[in-house]
């Protein structure tokens, strides 16, 4: 068997995030569908959800520059505020907000998304709308419905002071 590493799969993902690639592990054939973030066993049909996670690179000190604490300040010396939005139909953008008792009951707010983003800008966040589970991928700036594979673009909008 040819061995395939996570780095190999990540390289394929970076080439085209919508494609499906065949792989063989331990004499078993699989397909990895990047669009749906799913691994499919080609013999049994078993499907597993996949998750991209950043690889820990060891010492963290070189990751930030001296100006890093200043990067969250706007031109007026105030902390820059951001609003997270997802794309809707017909090019409209909608704010993430908790909507209890509605048909679009969301489990996170824009502020909670921003907090997660600041902790790990290359990570992701899982949340729910009604009973559907979604993943918001900060690097791809995309939200994916983990049941259907449907995706929407997201944006991090800098607010004026």
Query: Is there a single domain that holds both residue 90 and residue 140?
Result: yes
5 Cβ contact partners less than 8 Å away, ≥ 6 residues apart: none
CA distances to 18, 26, 121, 146, 147 from 30, rounded to whole Å, are 17, 10, 30, 19, 19
User: Of residues 44 and 75, which shows the higher confidence score?
Assistant: 44
Q: Mean pLDDT of all residues in the chain?
A: 82
pLDDT tens-digit profile of 108-159? 999 999 999 999 999 999 999 888 999 999 999 999 999 999 999 999 998 8
Asked if residue 53 has pLDDT above 70, the reply is yes
* Main-chain dihedrals φ then ψ at residue 125, nearest 5 degrees: -135, 135
- % of the chain residues with pLDDT over 70: 81
Spatial CA neighbour of 28 closest among 46, 10, 14? 46
Asked if the structure places residue 100 within a domain, the reply is: yes
Placement of tokens 């300040």 in the chain: 73
Asked if the structure places residue 111 within a domain, the reply is: yes
Give mean pLDDT, residues 49-67.
58
Asked if the structure places residue 56 within a domain, the reply is: no
Compute and round to an integer the Cα radius of gyration of the chain: 19
Asked if the structure places residue 69 within a domain, the reply is: no
Asked if the structure places residue 73 within a domain, the reply is: no
pLDDT range class, residue 6, cuts 50, 70, 90: confident
pLDDT of amino acid 76: 54
pLDDT of amino acid 28: 87
Structural domain of 12? 6-49
pLDDT of amino acid 61: 46
pLDDT of amino acid 89: 81
Q: Could you give the number of structural domains in the chain?
A: 2
Q: Determine which helix (DSSP H) or strand (DSSP E) holds 142, and give its type and residue range.
A: strand 142-145
């Amino acid at each position: 068997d040819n061995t395939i590493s996570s780095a190999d799969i990540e390289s394929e993902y970076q080439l085209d995030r919508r494609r499906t690639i065949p792989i063989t592990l331990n004499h078993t054939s699989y397909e990895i569908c990047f669009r749906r973030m799913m691994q499919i066993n080609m013999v049994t049909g078993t499907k597993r959800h996949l998750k991209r996670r950043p690889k820990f690179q060891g010492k963290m000190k070189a990751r930030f520059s001296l100006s890093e604490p200043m990067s969250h300040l706007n031109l007026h010396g105030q902390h820059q505020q951001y609003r997270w939005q997802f794309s809707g139909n017909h090019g409209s953008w909608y704010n993430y907000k908790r909507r209890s008792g509605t048909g679009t009951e969301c489990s996170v707010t824009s502020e909670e998304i921003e907090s997660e983003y600041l902790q790990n800008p290359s990570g992701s966040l899982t949340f729910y709308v009604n009973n559907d589970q979604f993943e918001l991928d900060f690097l791809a700036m995309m939200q994916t419905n983990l049941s259907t594979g449907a995706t929407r673009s997201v944006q991090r909008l800098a607010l004026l002071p």
